[in-house]
Amino acid sequence: MTQLVHGNSELRLAMNGLGSNICLVPTMGALHDGHAALIHAGKEFVGKDGCVVVSDFVNPKQFGQNEDFEKYPRNIEQDLKVARSAGAHILWAPSVEDVYPGQWPMDIETDPRFEILEGKSRSGHFAAVLEVVTRLFNIVQPNIAVFGEKDFQQLVFISEMAKKREPQIGILAVPTKRDFDGLALSSRNVYLSSDQRNVAHLIPDALKQGVLLASKGANLQEIKDSVKEVISKSNLIEIEYVDILNNELNELIPGIVGRILIAAKLGNTRLIDNMPILLKEES
């Protein structure tokens, strides 16, 4: 049975006796099957004597001036149902004061990669992500934390931060969970109108086309042009970026697996996705 707790002291009490192998699944709530996959992966990793804690915290620092903090979907009862069905032991829904006690400062190193891809239009976003994840780590003190590959840029930064600042915490990456038509599951999908949802499959379709062309020896520009061509089949989708990078978010060298990444808007809803890609070496 999943326990719903709120304050930090309530969390520690709930964790007592649940095992010393602790898994944290950080979320911003609005849980869906993608989050359930993260919980399943964490539960399998820690085993029957482990404890899986799902944090349910909409972090205000991650939202930019024109982003949807107030409108972000919140439904703790539904979140509890998802967490319970997936087998989480604890759903922890802290307050801002629990996570940011006294607004104590935290030093987050800057990185030029914070300003590319997602960071280009979301100034300060990744510093805020790393700060809140560090605070969640400090409170829960897990052995392992689980993140999805859909937010790949975030995953890269959190993995690097953990190795440097929290080496005792392992990071488990879980492949993107997709809907019946290939669209990556996201809490923001609920914002899509029926017309928008009907064409949203063009985003994963475009990525798959790029991956296929790469396997046939196409170059970077040919792949990007093809991805944009697939997306342009609908005038309801506006591309924000398409990029192909290595798994450290630097230039991709042929013969090394990297990522093709995309961000697009359907009306006011902004979606991101990515897939592994391998550029063929020149013969």
**What is the enclosing helix (H) or strand (E) of 278?**
strand 269-278
Q: Are residues 221 and 271 in the same domain?
A: yes
Dump pLDDT digits (tens) for 110-137.
899 999 999 998 888 899 999 999 999 9
Dump pLDDT digits (tens) for 149-195.
999 999 999 999 999 999 999 999 999 999 999 999 999 999 999 99
Q: Are residues 99 and 219 in the same domain?
A: no
Residue 103 counted as domain residue: yes
| Residue ending a domain, choose from 174, 196, 223 | 174
Under 8 Å between Cβ of 8 and 141: no
User: pTM value?
Assistant: 0.94
Query: How many folded domains does the chain comprise?
Result: 2
pLDDT greater at residue 49 or residue 162: 162
Q: Are residues 210 and 107 in the same domain?
A: no
Residue 180 counted as domain residue: no
pLDDT greater at residue 83 or residue 1: 83
Domain that holds residue 34: 3-174
The token pair at 230 is 């697939």
Question: Is 89 a known active-site residue?
Answer: no
Sequence-ordered list of residues with C-beta below 8 angstroms from that of 82, at least 6 positions apart, any chain? 31, 32, 33, 35, 36
If you average pLDDT over each of 36-50, 72-86, 196-210, which comes out highest? 196-210
Q: Are residues 136 and 12 in the same domain?
A: yes
Q: Considering 6, 32, 35, 125, which one is annotated as catalytic?
A: 35
Q: Are residues 98 and 225 in the same domain?
A: no
User: pLDDT class for 109, splitting at 50, 70, 90?
Assistant: confident
Q: Are residues 243 and 141 in the same domain?
A: no
Residue 282 counted as domain residue: no
Q: Are residues 144 and 55 in the same domain?
A: yes
| Residue ending a domain, choose from 151, 174, 197 | 174
Residues 227 and 208: their CA atoms lie apart, in Å, by 9
If you average pLDDT over each of 71-75, 186-190, 225-229, which comes out highest? 225-229
Residue 30 counted as domain residue: yes
Provide mean pLDDT across the span 229-241. Answer: 97
pLDDT at residue number 65:
61
CATH of the domain at 148: 3.40.50.620
CATH of the domain at 250: 3.30.1300.10
